[in-house]
């Protein structure tokens, strides 16, 4: 089979890709050099990323090496960091929002959108210091019925088509390199829910993640005032870190700032507090805090809980029991590796990543009495 003059080996698309591929073929954009499921590695075009691959141009004069670097005037005249939402969302930033499933990531970001459009305090606490020309919300994970209900109930429908533009599962598929999108997001805040839906390649590949990061940085250089990327974590746990996000750790590397969100108690999701943790901060101090839901299925506004600074998550009954079993199992099997522990716990119905198992193993060994005999499990 030939695609763009390149011969590809026979490798039929998975069934779940067929409909999407058919839809893409109808869109007015340049064809992909390779299939989306990457039969062959996808090499990004330099003009997409604003970077140069391979050897420098032949006409470059090595004696002009100083042009590669900032001047003293650049540094002395550079303005201090500015904020769209003080203490929460920086100007010219790529900000992450990570959390497990059911952790209210989309609800949190709808509250952010409401504040950016209206100028009202975010969660009744964080001041909006600069409103963007528009907010562009790309949300292919949600259907129009569900997303439309949320938007209407938050009073955002009146902004649609003026300062608020959004897509859903029912919209035309949009790519980050689409020139129409690049024009639409100039001067705006771009919110992507979730990042993986706009990612080409293997999310565990650092090289593919680097390309995605370059695409986001190109959008910032093109005039986007800030980008917010929603991303799933690999598991639900007591604490969130920058490494909790699914896939390559390079995702956290290109972020300016990253917030993590989880619930106090997943067994009572409608009434449980949300815990917000800044797992990566730059140029500002950010404390943990809690958000209180309304408890009403039709009201999606979250309220800052005063006095909740430096709060910690309180696990639900099932999560507590699972953690207790995991810790006990690790202490009884100190000679196992992190990989072995993660697999063994999964067989017990307890989900812990390899890195978390390694952390528990180090803690268990550190707390073991001197001279203790390590018995294989």
* pLDDT, one tens digit for every residue, the chain (377 residues): 444 554 544 444 444 444 444 444 444 444 334 334 333 343 444 444 444 444 566 688 999 999 999 999 999 999 999 999 999 999 999 999 999 988 999 999 999 999 999 999 999 999 999 999 999 999 999 999 999 999 999 999 999 999 999 999 999 989 999 999 999 999 999 999 999 999 888 888 889 999 999 999 999 999 999 999 999 987 655 567 777 777 777 888 899 999 999 988 877 778 889 999 999 988 888 889 999 998 788 889 999 999 888 776 544 445 555 678 888 899 999 999 988 998 898 788 777 767 678 878 888 888 875 654 444 43
- Are 91 and 227 spatial neighbours (Cβ–Cβ below 8 Å)? no
Q: Where are the beta strands (DSSP E) in 221-326?
A: 226-232, 257-263, 274-280, 289-292, 303-304
- Are 354 and 339 spatial neighbours (Cβ–Cβ below 8 Å)? yes
Residue 37, pLDDT score: 37
- Are 153 and 300 spatial neighbours (Cβ–Cβ below 8 Å)? yes
In sequence order, what are the beta bridge partners of 89?
85
Rounded to a whole number of angstroms, the distance between the first and last alpha carbons of the chain is 52
Query: Full-prediction pTM beyond 0.75?
Result: no
In sequence order, what are the beta bridge partners of 289?
276
Cα–Cα distances in angstroms (integers) from residue 48 to residues 179, 214, 252, in the given order: 10, 9, 22
Residue 102, pLDDT score: 87
Residue 146, pLDDT score: 94
Region for 329 from its dihedrals, namely left if φ exceeds 0, alpha if ψ lies in -120 to 50, beta otherwise: alpha
Residue 172, pLDDT score: 92
In sequence order, what are the beta bridge partners of 245?
233
Cα–Cα distance measured from residue 127 to residue 122, given in angstroms and rounded to the nearest whole number:
7
User: Which residues lie below 8 Å from residue 280, measured CB to CB, with a gap of 6+?
Assistant: 96, 242, 252, 255, 256, 257, 258
């Amino acid at each position: 089979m030939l695609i763009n003059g390149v011969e590809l080996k026979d490798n039929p698309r998975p069934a779940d890709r067929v409909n999407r591929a058919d839809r893409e073929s109808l869109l007015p954009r340049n064809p992909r050099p390779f299939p989306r499921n990457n039969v062959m590695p996808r090499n990004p075009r330099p003009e997409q990323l604003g970077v140069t691959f391979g050897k420098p141009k032949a006409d470059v004069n090595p004696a002009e090496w100083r042009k590669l670097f900032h001047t003293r005037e650049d540094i002395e005249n550079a303005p201090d960091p500015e904020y769209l939402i003080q203490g929460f969302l920086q100007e010219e930033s790529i900000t992450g929002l990570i959390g497990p499933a059911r952790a209210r990531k989309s609800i949190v970001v709808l509250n952010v959108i409401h504040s950016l459009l209206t100028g009202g305090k975010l969660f009744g606490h964080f001041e909006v210091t600069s409103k963007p020309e528009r907010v562009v919300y790309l949300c292919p994970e949600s259907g129009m019925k569900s997303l439309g209900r949320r938007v209407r109930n938050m009073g955002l429908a009146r902004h649609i088509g003026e300062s608020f533009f959004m897509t859903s599962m029912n919209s035309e598929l949009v790519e980050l390199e689409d020139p129409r999108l690049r024009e639409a997001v100039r001067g705006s805040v771009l919110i992507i829910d979730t990042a993986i839906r706009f990612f080409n390649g293997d999310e565990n590949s650092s090289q593919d993640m680097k390309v995605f990061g370059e695409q986001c940085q190109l959008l910032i250089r093109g005039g986007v005032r800030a980008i917010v990327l929603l991303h799933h974590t690999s598991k639900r746990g007591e604490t969130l870190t920058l490494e909790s996000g699914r896939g390559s750790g390079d995702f956290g590397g290109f972020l300016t700032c990253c917030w993590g969100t989880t619930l106090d108690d997943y067994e009572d999701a409608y009434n449980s507090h949300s815990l917000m943790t800044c797992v990566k901060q730059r140029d500002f101090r950010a404390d943990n805090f809690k958000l209180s839901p309304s408890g009403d299925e039709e009201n999606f506004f979250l309220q800052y809980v005063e006095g909740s600074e430096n709060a910690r998550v309180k696990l639900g009954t099932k999560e507590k029991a699972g953690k207790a079993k995991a810790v006990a199992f690790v202490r009884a099997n100190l000679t196992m590796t992190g990989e072995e522990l993660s697999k063994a716990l999964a067989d017990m119905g307890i989900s812990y990543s390899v890195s978390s198992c390694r952390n528990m193993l180090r803690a268990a060994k550190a707390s073991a009495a001197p001279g203790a005999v390590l018995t294989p499990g």
